[in-house]
Amino acid sequence: MRNYIIGLLTGIFAGALYCAAPAPPWYLWIFFLAGSGLAAFGIDVFFGSFEEHQPRAAWMGFALFGGPGAFLLSLVWLLGL
């Protein structure tokens, strides 16, 4: 279910970027793909590590992958919309 929610949010965000009034520059699409991948991987590492009873690895993985992903997505949001 969490993968469905991640995909749904990514699709909504990509649709908003695609429908932006001025055409977004090409590098924003690269930032978007990288940020979406990092954020999804960070969330997957977080839940997977908690299922294996490794809370420290969960938080470290979430910070190492989810943090840069959130930064890139916020950069796309600020520059693209």
Whole-number pLDDT of residue 22: 73
Q: What share of the chain is helix, strand, coil (3-state, %, to 5)?
A: 85, 0, 15
Please check the confidence at residue 12 and state whether its pLDDT lies above 90: no
Asked whether residue 22 is assigned to any structural domain, the reply reads no
pTM of the model: 0.79
Asked whether residue 19 is assigned to any structural domain, the reply reads no
Which residue type occupies 56?
A: R
Domain count, the chain: 1
Host domain of residue 65: 2-14+27-80
Whole-number pLDDT of residue 54: 93
Greater confidence (77 vs 17) lies with 77
Say which residue the tokens 């979430």 belong to: 62
